[in-house]
Each structure stands twice: as C-alpha cells, then as structure tokens.
Amino acid sequence: MIIWLTGLPCSGKTTLARRLVELYGGELLDGDELRAGPFKTGFSLEERRQHLLRMGYIAELLDKYTNVYCSFVSPYETTRNELPIDVLIYVKASVECCAARDVKGMWAKAKAGEIKGFTGYDAPYELPVRPDIVVDTENYSIENCVYMIRDVIQAHMLFCNSRQ
C-alpha cells in the first residue's frame, strides 16, 4: 500500500511517516532526503511534477513488498492525481506554525529572499480536494495523529480485502 503524506514544509509529514514506519514497518520515501541525495532537481512546476512521478514509480516498485510511506510537499492537486496513491493524508498546520518549526531554516531563508518559489511562502500549496484523512499537527500530538492514520489505513485494507 502506498500512503502519501502531503502538506506544507515543516507541517510534520516526515515525523509522522517515520513514526508509522517505527510502529508498523514499511519503507519511507522522504522528499528532503531524496532531493539531497540521488534525485537533485529544480522546483519549477514541471520539475516538481517529474520528481514526484519518479518517486511514485519507486513507491510502486517497493509496494510489491511492503507498505510505502511517501513524505512529499506535493503542492499541486493535478500532480497528486497522477500518483499511485492508495491513502492520501493531508498533514495540516498553519504557515505560522510551520515557520515556527523551521528546523532547517528554510522559512527564514524564504522570508529573507534567499529562496525563491518556496511552497507556502511565495509558491502555492493547493489543498487536497479529497484526502482520505486530514491530521492537524498544530492541534494534536504526533501520537494522536499516528493513531488516526492507522485507523484509516486499516479501514482501507479491510475495504480492499472485501472487494477481492
């Protein structure tokens, strides 16, 4: 199963995905890690789209063996609709909350004009139209959000199994 976490930078996507992997197993594909490693790419609309399509393909390959948790900003609805997502999780947190959590200093750099096209600051983030769940990391603990996600994943698995 491919579980895709989308939301603003610093909303808690990776933290949630790591915790889910710790508790339930699976593999994590994380946008920051992959962009820093072998998949360096730009941030134009098309470059973002191509990067996410590549990550979706990798997720499909891994999905044959285990659950795959994909933690990517994924700012555009049209691109998300092209991805092989089984469960879409919108990780909700306000811009102010995300900027306050700014562990890598990215929001501060965007505000200072050092980064152009930063999602949520001077580049758009389109809210998912039909996420399977919205978890509000600003108002709920990571553990509460993890359990809400677990319940949605289990319900999805039961539904898929009942259709076979």
Kindly report, residue by residue over 36-54, the tens digit of the pLDDT. Answer: 556 666 667 788 888 899 9
pLDDT digits (tens, 9 = 90+) for 69-84: 999 999 999 999 999 9
Q: Which of 31-40, 88-97, 107-116 has the lowest mean pLDDT?
A: 31-40
Predicted TM-score of the model (pTM):
0.91
Statement: residue 90 has pLDDT above 70: yes
Q: Which of 112-121, 125-134, 136-145 has the lowest mean pLDDT?
A: 112-121
pLDDT digits (tens, 9 = 90+) for 17-27: 999 999 999 99
| 102 in Cβ contact with 145 (< 8 Å) | no
Please report, for residues 4, 21, 28, 30, the alpha-carbon distance to residue 37 in angstroms, rounded to integers and kept in the order given. Answer: 20, 21, 14, 11
Which residue among the candidates 44, 71, 74, 94 is catalytic per the annotation? Answer: 74
Question: Residue 43 is encoded by which pair of tokens?
Answer: 């941030």
Statement: residue 31 has pLDDT above 90: no
Q: What is the average pLDDT score of the chain?
A: 90
> What's the gap between Cα 144 and its chain centre?
18
Q: CA-to-CA distance for 106 and 31, rounded, in angstroms?
A: 14
Statement: residue 121 has pLDDT above 70: yes
Q: Provide the domain count of the chain.
A: 1
pLDDT score at 96: 95
Residue whose structure tokens are 């947190």: 93
Please report, for residues 3, 67, 73, 140, the alpha-carbon distance to residue 64 in angstroms, rounded to integers and kept in the order given. Answer: 13, 8, 24, 32
Q: Taking residues 74-97, what's their average pLDDT?
A: 96
Q: Is 141 among the catalytic positions? A: no
Strands (E), the chain: 2-6, 27-30, 68-71, 87-92, 133-136
Give the structural domain span for 136.
2-162
Report the CATH number at residue 40: 3.40.50.300
